Structure 1
Amino acid sequence: MHLVISVLLAPIVLFRGIETMSVRFLLALAASTILQLIVILLYMKAIKRSELSVTVPLVTLTPLFMLITSPILIGEFPSALGIVGIFFIVVGTYVLNIDGNKDKPLAPFTSLITNQGSRYMFIVAFLWSITANIDKIGVEETSPIFWAFTKDFIILIYLLPIMLIKSKSPLTQLKQRAGPLFGVGLFRTLSVLSQLFAIQLILVAYVIAIKRSSALIIILFAFFFLNEKEYFKTRLIGILVILCGLILIAL
């Protein structure tokens, strides 16, 4: 994924020219890439050691953590209405992500005591609340495209030795999966750029809260196009709560 993003953005960066990299930019770049590498490793360990229904809901905590990290790192703090909107989106997204624990809705939180994978994902959620704010610094110092390229290119460099050590015949695997990897990488590139351009316009906490509500689109897609209607009535509660949160943030 990081390879595809780097390849797609490299021609644009070269055409636009290398931008001036201030000390603040370089510090943000170093912090962001190191934290992102830690996130990648912890995320993979989390989903490997625990059920997705237990670990994934914990990711919805990122916007809540940002109510603490954003004021400290970049001096941004949402309005009272915005905070309520963030809470609504977090709760709604959480409801949509607990399919495997409907009888025990607090299972992801109680698992923090006994489940190592859940603890890893909890750390991931917190680290994402930091890296999202660092993205704002990187974009302010340069531009969304240049920041996205430099960040993903350095993460790619970090991951190369890990891939060569851990993977068997990595080049062969890349060739065999070139099509799907390019497709995922293309959409990931569009997603990253959309997020970075968005944080130029509104508070980072709002952007991440709205990003987490993408579960709403997935649920609606599954209902209308994949005929997955089994849990839709239960999920409808989460959808309505998310919509309320989005409306509050829009206001």
Structure 2
Amino acid sequence: MLGFLLAFMTAISEALKDIASKYNLHHIDEYTAAFSLHLIQSILLVPIVLYLGIEVMSSKFLLALLASSILQLIVILLYFKAIKRSELSVTVPLITLTPLFMLITSPIMIGEFPNALGILGIVLIVTGTYISNLDSNQKNIFAPFVSVVKNQGSRYMLIVAFLWSITANIDKIGVEETSPVFWAFSKDFLILFYLIPILAIKSKRPLKQIKNRKVGLLLVGMFKSTSVLTQMYAIQFILVAYVISIKRASALFIILFAFFFLNEKHNFRNRMIGIITILLGLFVIAIS
């Protein structure tokens, strides 16, 4: 039950991070946002790491760290390319395929495989998130998936979903080799350095952008730090595929926020069906 609660906190933190990021991206570019996110998260985790102590870094840990950080960097770049080149309503639902990919990657990488109820819960969450993102005006309900063949942005997002199914399993390895806090800090601190040359090339006056949005960026960093820590602790108690499935249910909270506070009441029927399906999936995983 503790693992489920931690995963649920991860979903809430992810939703808050995404909502805060949405406001920030009206004023700054995505490269500055990505750099700031990792910078603030690293700064927030430093005192915790120092208090708990520096972990012994085995060769297995270093290999996992290198693999995870490189893959996460690729994910960031592909994600930005996808949302720039294609409509969000077409590309974003593809991210919900990550838990399904994990039904393949988790058994191979870390020997974890959900039971029958767990698989049902994962499928329900993926289905519910997809339905809630499906536009009622689309003639083809499989449009986001059909677009993979025709749309470059959708192909990028499909790769993102698959890579996340790998990095989530590497997180399990990193946590087992050290600790949730040290792994989270090490990975994001390394990615921060990868982003420095990208920021210098792609962003215009990033320091001024950060200064103008320092409060908003701090909130994003705090929410992301909470999300990362709760996720890393959650995977110590329940299967990684379950944690990521519940994490992807952050869409539920975003949908509710948009409905009540942003007056986004279009596509209400599909979104309510999606929410009910997601809740059912969460319940099934909880009792599995």
Identity of aligned residues (%): 71
2:103 to 67, 73, 82: 67
Matched, 1:157 2:169: no
Spell out, residue by residue over 1:128-155, the C-alpha distance to the aligned partner (whole angstroms, 9 max, x if none). 0000000001111111111110000000
> Which of residues 21, 46, 50 is equivalent to 2:86?
50
CA distance in 1, matches of 2:79, 2:135: 20
1:136 to 163, 172, 177: 172
Question: Is residue 105–residue 165 contact of structure 2 (8 Å, CA) maintained in 1?
Answer: yes
Q: Aligned partner of 2:212: which letter? A: Q
Measured against aligned partners, the alpha-carbon deviations of 1:93-139 in whole angstroms (never above 9, x if no partner) come to: 11111237643221111111111000000000000000000000111
With 13-22 and 123-132 compared, the bigger mean Cα shift is at: 13-22
**2:120 touches 2:284 (CA, 8 Å); kept in 1?**
yes
Cα distance change, pair 220–240 in 1 and its aligned pair in 2 (3 A): same
Aligned partner of 2:250 in structure 1 is: 214
- Aligned positions of 1:184-199 closer than 5 A: 184-199=220-235
Tell whether the 8 Å contact from 1:53 to 1:100 is kept in structure 2 after alignment: no
Q: 1:107 — aligned with what?
A: 143
Residues 134, 270 of structure 2: 8 Å contact kept: no
Q: Is the 8 A contact 1:2 1:153 kept in 2?
A: yes
Aligned partner of 1:118 in structure 2 is 154
> Could you say what secondary structure the match of 1:99 adopts?
coil
The residue number in structure 2 matching 1:87 is: 123
Letter of the structure 1 residue corresponding to residue 92 of structure 2: V
User: Contact (CA 8 Å) 1:163, 1:170: kept in 2 or not?
Assistant: yes
* Equivalent pair of 1:101/1:107 in contact (CA under 8 Å): no
Where structure 1 has 5 or more consecutive residues not aligned to the other structure, the ranges are: none
Gaps of 5+ in 2: 1-36
Three-state SS of the structure 2 residue aligned to 1:147 is: helix
Q: For 1:53 and 1:73, locate their aligned partners in 2 and report how far apart those are by CA, in whole Å.
A: 32
Q: What is the distance in 2 between the residues matched to 1:100 and 1:33?
A: 38
Aligned to 2:48: 12
* Secondary structure, counterpart of 1:228 in structure 2: coil
Q: Which whole-Å deviations, capped at 9, do the CAs of 1:188-236 have from their partners, x for residues lacking one? A: 1111111111111100000000111111122223333444333222211
**What TM-score, normalized by structure 1, do the two folds share?**
0.96
Tell me whether 1:176 sits opposite 2:219 in the alignment: no
Q: Is the CA contact (8 Å cut-off) linking 2:133 and 2:271 kept in structure 1?
A: no
Check conservation: 1:53, 1:101, Cα contact below 8 A.
Answer: no
TM-score norm. by structure 2 comes to: 0.84
Amino acid in structure 2 at the alignment position of 1:214: S
* Equivalent position of 2:236 in the other structure: 200
Equivalent residue, structure 2, for 1:40: 76
Q: 1:25 to 1:101 in 2, by over 3 A?
A: farther
The letter for the 2-side match of 1:238 is: G
Provide the rounded CA distance (Å) in 2 between the counterparts of 1:91 and 1:115. 22
Task: Give per-residue Cα distances to partners, 1:79-101, cap 9 Å, x unaligned.
Answer: 01110110111100111112376
After the TM superposition, which of the residue ranges 227-236 and 178-187 deviates more from structure 2?
Answer: 227-236
Separation of aligned partners in 1, 2:57 and 2:178:
7
Amino acid at match of 1:148: A
In the alignment, the residues of structure 2 paired with residue 34 and residue 168 of structure 1 have an alpha-carbon distance, to the nearest angstrom, of 24
Q: Partners in 2 of 1:11 and 1:101 — Cα distance? A: 50
One-letter identity of the residue aligned with 2:57: M
Q: Which stretch of structure 1 is more off in the superposition, 103-112 or 78-87?
A: 103-112
Asked whether the equivalents of residues 144 and 197 of structure 1 are also in contact (C-alpha less than 8 Å), the reply is yes
